[in-house]
């Protein structure tokens, strides 16, 4: 069932508007409702946004990766990423020979927008369950953090997207040169922490 749920969002034809899946996490059952949004400008209700944003791209399609970046940019410009978790998902990792987007590029983009990152393959059910549990976990963590922030009154400070992107690219180059992965990149793949 989980594969069907995610697979529906990978295809752009005959996609149902909504689908849901039940998840058990820490002894509490929750229902995740996925709403397929093709045009975020027209369909995302900014006054009552969804609990999380999951942006799916194909690792074999550069255009889908660019569209995911454009959507993240819109969501950040609207201020929706401050209070809602976002997860960048690279699909079709089983098609290794056709890969056009590296995992490092995905991590770099995710870190630029303070999003989480995971690669999956719906075709072979790789990391699909981890993604679903991670989505629910991120929603719960973000809501808990929002309650704490309201109590403490801590202000949010966000760097310029261009500065963050340049910093992530530099970290990516050092990772490539020295072979040791930066902690920021590792953190963006951990769906169990903010």
Domains and CATH numbers, the chain: 2-188 (3.40.50.300)
Between the CA atoms of 165, 169, 174 and 179, what dihedral angle is there, to the nearest 10 degrees? Answer: 110
* Mean pLDDT, rounded, for 13-32: 82
- 148 or 6: which carries more pLDDT confidence? 148
Q: CA 106 to CA 69: how far, in whole Å? A: 10
pLDDT on residue 49: 87
Residue 84 has pLDDT above 80, yes or no: yes
CA nearest neighbour of 194 among 146, 155, 161, 123: 146
What pLDDT does residue 176 have?
Answer: 56
- State the pLDDT at residue 129: 93
* Calpha distance 7→193 (Å, rounded): 26
Helices and strands per DSSP (H, E), number in the chain: 7, 5
Any idea what DSSP says for residue 13?
A: S
| Residue among 64, 51, 134 at smallest CA distance from 99 | 64
**Beta-carbon count within 10 A of 124 CB:** 12
pLDDT at 95: 96
| Confidence band for 45, pLDDT divided at 50, 70 and 90 | confident
pLDDT, tens digit (0-9, with 9 covering 90-100), for 139-168: 999 888 776 665 655 444 455 555 555 565
pLDDT at position 16 is 64
What is the three-class DSSP state of 40? helix
Largest CA distance in the chain: 50
Which of 194, 192, 168 has its CA nearest to residue 181?
168
Residue 7: its pLDDT value, please? 46
Chain mean position to CA 140: 15
Is there a contact between 117 and 107 (Cβ–Cβ < 8 Å)? yes
Count of other CB atoms within 10 angstroms of residue 35: 13
């Amino acid at each position: 069932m989980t594969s069907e749920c995610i697979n529906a969002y990978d295809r752009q034809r005959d996609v149902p508007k909504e689908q849901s899946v039940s998840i058990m996490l820490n002894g509490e059952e929750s229902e995740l409702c996925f709403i397929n949004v093709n045009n975020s400008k027209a369909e995302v209700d900014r006054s009552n946004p969804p609990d999380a944003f999951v942006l799916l791209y194909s690792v074999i399609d550069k255009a889908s990766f660019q569209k995911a970046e454009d959507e993240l940019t819109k969501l950040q410009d609207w201020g929706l990423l401050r209070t809602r978790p976002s997860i960048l998902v690279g699909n079709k990792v089983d098609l290794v020979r056709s890969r056009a987007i590296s995992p490092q590029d995905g991590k770099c983009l995710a870190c630029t927008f303070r999003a989480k990152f995971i690669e999956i393959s719906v075709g072979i059910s790789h990391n699909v369950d981890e993604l679903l549990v991670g989505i629910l976990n991120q929603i719960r963590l973000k809501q808990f953090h929002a309650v704490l922030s309201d109590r403490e009154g801590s202000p949010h400070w966000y760097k310029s997207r261009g500065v963050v992107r340049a910093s992530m690219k530099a970290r990516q180059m050092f990772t490539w040169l020295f072979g040791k992965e930066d902690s920021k990149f590792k953190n963006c793949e951990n769906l169990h922490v903010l």
